[in-house]
Chain A
Amino acid sequence: MQRFINNPDEVVEDTVKGFVKAHADLVRLASNPRVIAARHAPVDGKVGVITGGGSGHEPAFIGYTGRNMLDAVAVGELFSSPTAKSFLDAAREANGGKGVVCLYGNYAGDNMNVKMAIKLAAKEDITIATVVANDDVCSAGPDEREKRRGVAGEIFMWKCAGALAAEGASLEAVQAVAQRAIDNCRSIGVGLGPCTLPAVGHPNFLIEPGTMEVGIGHHGEPGVRVEPLKPAAEIARDMAKIVLDDHDLAAGTEVAVLVSGLGATPANELYILNDTIEQEITGRGLTIHKTYIGNYFTSLEMVGATLTVMALDAELKRLLDVDVDCPARL
């Protein structure tokens, strides 16, 4: 394992320190060193928009803190949920008196810590509404969508909700638009190589050379099938098919597309995938409004990529197009 690390147990501390130095114009470290807040937060009379999750997915989650985006983010250990206290402190940093929405992914630890944070926040009259992302198609069947994990679709959810909150919308309205945004998202991941938590020192899981895992999760959760590695066009076709079959969108629907690397995949290969992804999407009569491509939501140094397709309506399209200022490129 050759990595840029000081002490394996202090990877998150060191990441946060460097992050705050790099983006001091946009973000600050809260009094809780496991909370990143936007420079402008809290804004009086604005619904606070927060999230939180394990580290190792950079630029998610902290990189999406900023203007018209997230007001505060709770930071967990690598691949491990932030504490209830950190979610609570993120809500405090974001609370402008109109309540806070916590928009996070469907993982056991996050669910429990957010639930505890809601109880603690209620004691100080901060209302936290939640939307739980579940866009990862392969993590559970269509009849069990509530069990699916949240992945890169969360970025679209944050962007739409962040933009609406900035317009002064109510807590209910922001929560509703976040829910609609994530309901309109479907994602899939394909893994070609595993990742290693520095403190553990060996890969979390194995992908045999010459094979790939279709439907892999953001922490290496097993996919739906392991098969021999294929040319990019065939992989891209499979990814698009899985996402679009689950989505079942009417021809003519406008969509936003996000292709993210998982950490160790070169940017050019994402373009190679996108060449075919675009054909598959337009081939179904859908119109691509916008494509985001790059490392948006990673899994340490996993080799692989994810595809997210969000169906747009007029409001989601408008909100998605609102300019943002955050450390991640959007």
Chain B
Amino acid sequence: MQQFENASAGDIVLSIADRIIENRAYLSEIDGKIGDGDHGVNMAKGFGMAADRIRGNDMSLATALDTLGTVLMTEIGGSMGPLYGVMFTQFAETIEKSPAIDVRTFSAMLSNGLDGIQSIGSAKVGDKTLLDTLVPAIEAFDAANADGKSFPDALDALVVAAEKGRDSTRDLVAKVGRASRLGERSVGVLDAGATSCALILKALALGAKQKLLMSATAGR
């Protein structure tokens, strides 16, 4: 059975934070085209604060995800604080009792995170939001799993679908959030939330794949 240990896997969250911080200027730039240009700044601030609390503390994946979610929810306002905050805290709650993360736990984690977002936000797929990345990514992960693909292959499918979903927002008209007031004028630009969501999912998937590889090697 392919799985990786929850304990000490908190460094996956550090790599997510690194990707967000590296893309600070890029995320603000695309947000500035149709939003108010603060997405990269706010995201880097929140993920950076969380990384400072996680680094050097040998956290489980669950604890690190909870730390990130709590920081986003309590320190970063706007729309992204509560949306990503609830997603990461729901991720954490789903896996906190699992010593090892297998494909079923990972799938449950993703869909509980999505449920959390949908419980506070009003967006649907196609509204030019992070859901255009997250929903197809989870569907692709579950479909790969149902087709009998391995856990790492399902993670690859997740990344491909996330990036395709992100790119789909270029042609969409924003329906919620500040960009929605631009209507047709929002077409032609990527959604900043969909873009950061693709970065997060990719870093999460790569981190999980690396852990799977390490535990497979260790078990040999």
* A→B interface (CB under 8 Å): 9, 54, 76-77, 79-86, 108-109, 111-113, 115-116, 139, 197, 199-200, 204, 217, 219, 221-222
Q: Is B215 an interface residue (CB 8 A)?
A: no
Q: Which residue in chain A gives the minimum CB-CB distance to B185?
A: A222
Given the known A-B contacts A217-B181, A219-B36, are A116 and B73 also in contact in the complex, defined by CB atoms under 8 Å?
yes
Task: State whether A84 touches B78 (Cβ < 8 A).
Answer: no
Q: Is B152 an interface residue (CB 8 A)?
A: no
Task: State whether A77 touches B36 (Cβ < 8 A).
Answer: no
Which chain A positions have C-beta within 8 A of B178? 108, 219, 221
Which chain A positions have C-beta within 8 A of B32? 200
* B→A interface (CB under 8 Å): 28, 32, 36-38, 41-42, 73-79, 81-83, 85-86, 120-122, 176-178, 181-183, 185
Given the known A-B contacts A108-B176, A112-B83, A221-B178, are A77 and B38 also in contact in the complex, defined by CB atoms under 8 Å?
yes
Q: Which residue in chain A gives the minimum CB-CB distance to B76?
A: A83
Among B42, B176, B177, the residue within 8 A (CB) of A77 is B42
The smallest C-beta distance from B179 to any residue of chain A, in angstroms, reads: 10
Which chain A positions have C-beta within 8 A of B185? 222
Can you list 18 A-B contacts with CB-CB less than 8 angstroms, sorted by A residue number? A77-B77, A79-B36, A80-B38, A81-B77, A81-B79, A83-B73, A83-B76, A83-B82, A84-B81, A84-B82, A108-B121, A116-B86, A116-B120, A139-B181, A197-B36, A200-B36, A219-B178, A222-B185
How many contacts between A and B, using CB within 8 angstroms?
84
Which chain A positions have C-beta within 8 A of B79? 81, 108-109, 112
Given the known A-B contacts A200-B32, A200-B36, are A112 and B73 also in contact in the complex, defined by CB atoms under 8 Å?
no
Which chain A positions have C-beta within 8 A of B122? 108, 111
The smallest C-beta distance from B124 to any residue of chain A, in angstroms, reads: 14
Task: State whether A221 touches B181 (Cβ < 8 A).
Answer: yes
Q: Which residue in chain A gives the minimum CB-CB distance to B41?
A: A199
Compute how far the CA of A81 lies from the CA of B178 in the bound complex, rounded to whole angstroms: 12
Given the known A-B contacts A197-B38, A219-B178, are A115 and B78 also in contact in the complex, defined by CB atoms under 8 Å?
no
Which chain A positions have C-beta within 8 A of B177? 108
Which chain A positions have C-beta within 8 A of B86? 116
Compute how far the CA of A221 lies from the CA of B182 in the bound complex, rounded to whole angstroms: 8
Compute how far the CA of A163 lies from the CA of B85 in the bound complex, rounded to whole angstroms: 36
Task: State whether B74 touches A83 (Cβ < 8 A).
Answer: yes
Task: State whether B81 touches A83 (Cβ < 8 A).
Answer: yes
Which chain B positions have C-beta within 8 A of A81? 77-79, 81
Among B120, B182, B183, the residue within 8 A (CB) of A112 is B120
Q: Which residue in chain B gives the minimum CB-CB distance to A32?
A: B74
Compute how far the CA of A76 lies from the CA of B82 in the bound complex, rounded to whole angstroms: 13
Which chain A positions have C-beta within 8 A of B76? 83
Contacts A83-B77, A112-B82, A200-B36 aside, 11 further interface pairs with beta carbons under 8 A come to A77-B77, A80-B38, A83-B75, A113-B77, A113-B82, A116-B85, A217-B181, A219-B36, A221-B178, A222-B183, A222-B185
The smallest C-beta distance from A57 to any residue of chain B, in angstroms, reads: 14
Q: Which residue in chain A gives the minimum CB-CB distance to B82?
A: A112
Which chain A positions have C-beta within 8 A of B73? 83-85, 116
Task: State whether A80 touches B78 (Cβ < 8 A).
Answer: yes
